């Protein structure tokens, strides 16, 4: 008999899932219960788990194929491309390339052709205080817009640009340039219909530069309004991490933020997987995108072996 139990922890989103060891094979009944809870609560917290990169992959594959992070191959696990190491640990005397990831409101990989479906993050080390993550419910953001604004946004397309990732340039010119080379601007609908719930969710975040058919000057205030509207406190849940938490969120109907509210001299170390998205966007300018991606990679990206060694050092 399954002992799985789901307790809501936020009104807008968020539930704790207990009575399950996610390192063990999952029964069909538990998988169904998790999928149902995920559709309802959007972000699930599985506290007190003991996972390693292999068991994280094992569990999260239950929810679909995993992304291999080819669009951001900077801090992948040395042996498993599907595991991304989110850390502020120094590696070979250099700051981590993911130390400031996620510090503006976003939804994962929206600057790629196939944005992530879900993302799962497992907390291995955390600062004594802070290092929280916030989530906002984009169904609520859409539902609370006026009918005219909904009409305007339905059918509108947005240009997502990796250059708008907060703090990208602080990761050094090689990483930033390579990130941009691999991720030319892409176009996605401003409103997405969730394939499981059939509900509409706003799909605009701080990495949107323009709307198709509108100038940048016209787009900017609308993007700003939508971003502010969608992250009102009443639409959010704030997660205070504990070591052993596995948190799994749905990128199709939420945005999230690494708050960055912690002492950077303390360690924050997480491993992460992302589910392959269930639809494709398109490049804003397919020819320019193809040419850009064919151009020479930045020196740092041309040495995967060295990178792998650097990541291995993270686990010392
Ligand atoms: C992510 C992310 C937030 C955090 O892993 O996609 O944005 O708080 N993480 O680390
Ligand atoms: Mn993220």
Record the tokens describing residue 57, joined without a space. 């992959």
pLDDT computed for residue 299 by the predictor:
58
Report pTM: 0.93
pLDDT computed for residue 94 by the predictor:
83
CB-ligand 1 contact for 108 (6 Å cutoff)? yes
Largest CA distance in the chain: 58
CB-ligand 1 contact for 85 (6 Å cutoff)? no
pLDDT computed for residue 314 by the predictor:
38
Mean pLDDT of the chain: 93
CA distance 208 to 157: 10
pLDDT computed for residue 110 by the predictor:
97
pLDDT computed for residue 103 by the predictor:
93
Q: Which residues of the chain carry a pLDDT beneath 70?
A: 1, 298-316
pLDDT computed for residue 63 by the predictor:
97
* Ligand 1 centroid, distance to 102 Cα (angstroms): 5
pLDDT computed for residue 304 by the predictor:
45
CATH number of 5-315: 3.60.130.10
pLDDT computed for residue 283 by the predictor:
98
pLDDT computed for residue 160 by the predictor:
98
pLDDT computed for residue 312 by the predictor:
38
* Ligand 1 centroid, distance to 10 Cα (angstroms): 19
CB-ligand 1 contact for 123 (6 Å cutoff)? no
Which ligand 1 atom is nearest residue 132's CA?
Answer: 8
């Amino acid at each position: 008999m399954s002992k799985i139990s789901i307790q809501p922890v936020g009104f807008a989103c968020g539930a704790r899932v207990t009575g399950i060891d996610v390192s063990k094979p999952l029964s069909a009944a538990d998988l169904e219960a998790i999928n149902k809870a995920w559709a309802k609560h959007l972000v699930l917290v599985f506290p007190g788990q003991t996972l390693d990169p292999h068991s994280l992959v094992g569990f999260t594959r239950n929810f679909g194929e995993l992304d291999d992070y080819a669009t951001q191959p900077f801090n992948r696990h040395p042996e498993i491309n599907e595991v991304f190491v989110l850390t502020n640990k120094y590696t070979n005397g250099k700051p981590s390339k993911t130390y400031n990831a996620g510090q503006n409101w976003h939804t994962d990989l929206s600057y790629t052709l196939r944005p992530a479906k879900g993302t799962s993050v497992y907390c291995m080390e955390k600062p004594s205080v802070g290092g929280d993550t916030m989530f906002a419910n984009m169904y609520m953001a859409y539902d609370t817009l006026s009918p005219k604004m909904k009409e305007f946004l339905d059918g509108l397309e947005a240009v997502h640009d990796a250059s708008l990732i907060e703090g990208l340039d602080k990761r050094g010119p090689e990483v930033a340039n390579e990130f941009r080379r691999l991720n030319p601007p892409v176009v996605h609908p401003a409103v997405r219909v969730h394939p499981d719930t059939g509900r509409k969710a706003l799909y605009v975040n701080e990495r949107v530069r323009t709307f198709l058919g509108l100038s940048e000057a016209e787009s900017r205030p609308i993007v700003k309004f939508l971003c502010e509207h969608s992250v009102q406190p009443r639409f959010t849940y704030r997660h205070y991490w504990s070591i052993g938490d596995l948190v799994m969120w749905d990128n199709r109907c939420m945005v999230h933020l690494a708050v960055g509210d912690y002492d950077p001299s303390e360690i924050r170390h997480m491993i992460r997987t992302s589910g392959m998205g269930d639809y494709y966007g398109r490049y804003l300018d397919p020819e320019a995108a193809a040419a850009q991606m064919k151009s020479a990679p930045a020196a740092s990206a041309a040495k995967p072996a060295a990178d792998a060694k650097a990541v291995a050092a993270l686990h010392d």
